[in-house]
Structure 1
Amino acid sequence: MFHGSMVALVTPMSADGALDFDALARLVEFHIENGTDALVAVGTTGESATLDVPEHIEVVRRVVKQVAGRVPVIAGTGANSTREAIELTRLAMEAGADACLLVTPYYNKPTQEGLYRHYRAIAEAVPIPQILYNVPGRTACDMKPETVARLADIPNIVGLKEASGSLERNRELIARCAGRIDLYSGDDDLGCASILAGFRGVISVTANVAPRAMHEMCKAALAGDAASAEAINADLTGLHKQLFIESNPIPAKWALQRLGLIPSGIRLPLTPLSESCHEAVLDAMRQAHVL
């Protein structure tokens, strides 16, 4: 249903933390002009944890309006409360999102059965297409491939963003689930190899800063052109690493500020990129030919 380079969009903010909707509109146009295949609004990279519900849905609404049907818009609507996730998913659907991305419940550490029932309840309550999101390094919750395989039987669960950091896990998911739901890498450094192995795209932090290159890499990999995909990806390896030198989205927001696309704002408890990290991120941007 969705494929290619799907940017995990940052949420622009002014220095005082207020949402900057003019910068958001500029970012949307930047991505469409540079070939981004879908936009993920207010995922975890979009600082969903520190936006209140009205802000959250207003960002989705603004992105949908600015995109105007040119590419798909996927709204982050995950929560560690099933009731809250259902409400966010319903509101995102009403705001015009094409699909929703739902991170596994964080902190409360559900069992695999709890994860299955959580996602089933959301899918049954809201008919919009839904993409599961597994990122155990940030949630302390790992959704196992067998649970994903069970959830793949639910008609409006259409995909999985897998960010466990394991190519072996990705291959197991392909063996169990390919052809039943679409699989997307949530790890930029594994994106190229994962697509060449059978994934359908990357939900990408790197695409915030290098959207054209990420689009071209994904396009080549989806076409089975490993040599071209790997050559493009080689220039992106620095960004894949250095955009996580501090907690995401701290480095990505700093890089976008350097490119003049957004102001400096980020909400506590996140803080601006440490000065000691600036040169590493700049070097990665130069390697990727975005500076």
Structure 2
Amino acid sequence: MEKKMRGLFPILLTPFTASMDVDFDTLAKLVEYYRKEQVDGLTCLGEVSEVDLLSDGEKQKILRKVLNAVHGEMPVIAGAGRGSIEPTSAAVREAFDLGASAVLLPPPKNPGLTGEEIYNYYMEVDSSADGIIIILDNPSLGYPLIPVDIVSRLVTNSRHIRGIKVEEQPSFLKIAGLRQNIGADLPIYGASHGRNLFWEMERGIDGVITSAPIPSHMRMIWNLFTTGKREKAYEAFLASLPMAYFLQEKPVAVKKEILRHLGIFPNNLVRKHGDSLDPMTASDLDNLVDWTIRKFHDLE
């Protein structure tokens, strides 16, 4: 099995201009922000990137921009799910041709798919791929449940499936089941905006693939835990939870407002109608961000 990609791989949100075009200058600024925070890699075109509201042309331009901005100095994971085998296979090949280190791949958005149908889908895409595929396991977004035994078969029989991002809740129990049935070789990544991070780490995740507008906070938790400072890691984890749980129904708008408050984004615009934050809610979130930053500063 290939060397594991370990650590923090934040998902890049997609900034927009006032006319709702992709703001590529701000995207470059976001990449530089994460590079300075010394994350281990980046993920683009994930669910919180508003990927379903981007055109194929925008997706390609975003991936090119991110890959050019990192200068080959860190791995980039690219979301490549397109709903059915042919367009997904094409997106996977394109991502690797452009230079992505891995692709993040959900099953089709059909919760009624059987385990065997999920298995066949991944194996078909795998047959034409030329790089690492990471399974996205997130039934809360309309994807089907992916049973542990199906993951085990895919890892055993495929050429390129070498990881899974777990968002089936409670995620730490799914992670425990995967570790018990598949072992330590499978790279497993936590997610869920860091809401279960400490318990996911207890069960042996190799990294985190999620939105992380303040990556230094997640890094602190990660470093404290991996250096044996478990109690201190737990304190930091608890300090992160109010912000992680704030307005769960609108995670993209929340993360964008945090980035706006930090001066990374010029606005908090989202493409999905009705998902914007009202001024009072945005102000409440800004106050919570400031409180969280102070709490983490006190923990240093």
Between 226-235 and 80-89, the greater mean CA deviation after superposition: 226-235
Match of 2:102 in 1: 99
Quick one: higher RCO (CA 8 Å, sep 6+), 1 or 2?
1
TM-score by length of 1: 0.92
Confirm whether residue 169 of structure 1 aligns to residue 174 of structure 2. yes
Evaluate the alpha carbon distance shift between residue 51 and residue 232 of structure 1 in structure 2; reply closer, same or farther with a 3 A threshold.
same
Question: What amino acid is the match of 1:105?
Answer: P
Match of 2:10 in 1: 7
Q: 1:288: how far off?
A: 2.4
Segments of 5+ residues of structure 2 without an aligned counterpart are 296-300
Instruction: State the alpha-carbon separation in 2 of the partners of residues 196 and 223 from structure 1.
Output: 13
Give the conservation status (yes or no) of the 8 Å contact 1:250–1:270.
no
Confirm whether residue 186 of structure 1 aligns to residue 191 of structure 2. yes
1:114 to 108, 113, 117: 117
1:215 to 219, 239, 247: 219
**The residue matched to 2:251 in structure 1 has which SS?**
coil
Q: 1:179: how far off?
A: 2.4
Instruction: State the alpha-carbon separation in 1 of the partners of residues 128 and 92 from structure 2.
Output: 9
The 4+ residue runs of structure 1 with deviation greater than 6 A are none
Segments of 5+ residues of structure 1 without an aligned counterpart are none
Match of 2:84 in 1: 81
What percent of counterpart residues are identical?
24
Q: How many residues align?
A: 288
Instruction: State the alpha-carbon separation in 1 of the partners of residues 278 and 181 from structure 2.
Output: 42
Instruction: State the alpha-carbon separation in 2 of the partners of residues 223 and 285 from structure 1.
Output: 27
Q: CA RMSD in A?
A: 1.9
Question: What amino acid is the match of 2:286?
Answer: L
Instruction: State the alpha-carbon separation in 2 of the partners of residues 3 and 179 from structure 1.
Output: 13
1:217-276 CA-to-partner distances (Å, cap 9, x unmatched) read: 22333344322322221221112111x433331111122122221133321335322335
**The residue matched to 1:18 in structure 2 has which SS?**
coil
Instruction: State the alpha-carbon separation in 1 of the partners of residues 112 and 90 from structure 2.
Output: 21
Larger Rg over CA atoms:
2
Give the conservation status (yes or no) of the 8 Å contact 1:112–1:143.
yes
Confirm whether residue 134 of structure 1 aligns to residue 137 of structure 2. yes
Evaluate the alpha carbon distance shift between residue 155 and residue 231 of structure 1 in structure 2; reply closer, same or farther with a 3 A threshold.
farther
**The residue matched to 1:7 in structure 2 has which SS?**
coil
Evaluate the alpha carbon distance shift between residue 248 and residue 85 of structure 1 in structure 2; reply closer, same or farther with a 3 A threshold.
farther
1:131-184 CA-to-partner distances (Å, cap 9, x unmatched) read: 000111112411111111111112311110000121222211111123232001
- Counterparts of 1:279-290 in structure 2, within 5 Å, are 279-289=283-293
Match of 2:235 in 1: 231
